[in-house]
Amino acid sequence: MKPIAQQTILITGSSDGLGKQTALALAKQGATVLLHGRDQQRLEASRQAILEETGNSHVEAYLADFADLSEVRKLAQTLQAQHPRLDMLINNAGIGAGKIAEARRELSRDGYELRFAINYLAPFLLTHLLLPCLRQTPPARIINVGSVGQSPIEFSDVMLERHYDPADAYRQSKLALTMFTFDLAEELKGEQITVNCLHPASLMNTRMVYESLGYALSTVEEGREAVMYLATSPALDNVTGKYFDQRRQARAHSQAYDLAARRRLQQLSEQLTGLSNP
């Protein structure tokens, strides 16, 4: 892998929590760090905080709401124009289950179940659109921030219209992200672009976890160390298509290894995002 100080790295969902802490750690190592968030005020505050703490002037901020796939496309277009070379993409942006007791089924602006849209369809689309940038000067890495919480996809009711549970919605979206990881790794074999997925830590002390459950079991720093391992370890130069539980390779939900299910998900995802079959 190239030295981190020579890399341009995009981290989605980096105005707060795990994404912000990962961005800070990479900026300290001299990387050009591209922050993403959906709230302009929080995003700019995070950029300023990282600039002040690291002295690294190569920290930029990009605004996009992942609940709207048209904004994902605009983000990709902007990045392609301003950073035609990208060395690493960390898909971290996501939405949790919310306040379980008060949760109701919500839709994205495109009419899709909100957690499936933000946690899965948005990174699926963004990653595909940014592949030309990642192919410019390999090697490159794609890291998908998943979860140990995974529920199988019921293809007859992917949008959970018949039975909605916010925890199931979250877990389904994270399993979909893992399935995408395995498929994309196969697609990119031989291109010096690795694709891996990880569960960073259980119930970190983030705003998202506190909103959902009111308590935490681990720290953002623990999760950051796991993400940094996948981002910076030379031992992973040729490791691709794997699921990690923190820093250990682990076994994902069994559906992630079902080739027929993955093919169905890929076809559905291409249809929902407007991507044609490669």
Write down the domain spans for the chain: 4-273
Cβ partners under 8 Å of residue 274, min gap 6: 69
The pLDDT value given to residue 275? 92
The pLDDT value given to residue 104? 84
Active site residues: 170
The residue with tokens 């407007």 is 274
The pLDDT value given to residue 278? 44
Would you state the structure tokens that stand for residue 102, as one six-digit string? Answer: 């008060």
Query: Which numeric CATH code is attached to 4-273?
Result: 3.40.50.720
pTM of the model: 0.94
Mean pLDDT per 10-residue section of the chain, whose length is 278 residues: 96 95 98 97 97 97 98 98 98 82 84 98 98 97 95 97 92 98 97 96 61 64 92 97 97 98 98 80
How far apart, in whole angstroms, are the C-alpha atoms of residue 277 and residue 92?
25
What is the Rg, in whole angstroms, of the alpha carbon atoms belonging to the chain?
17
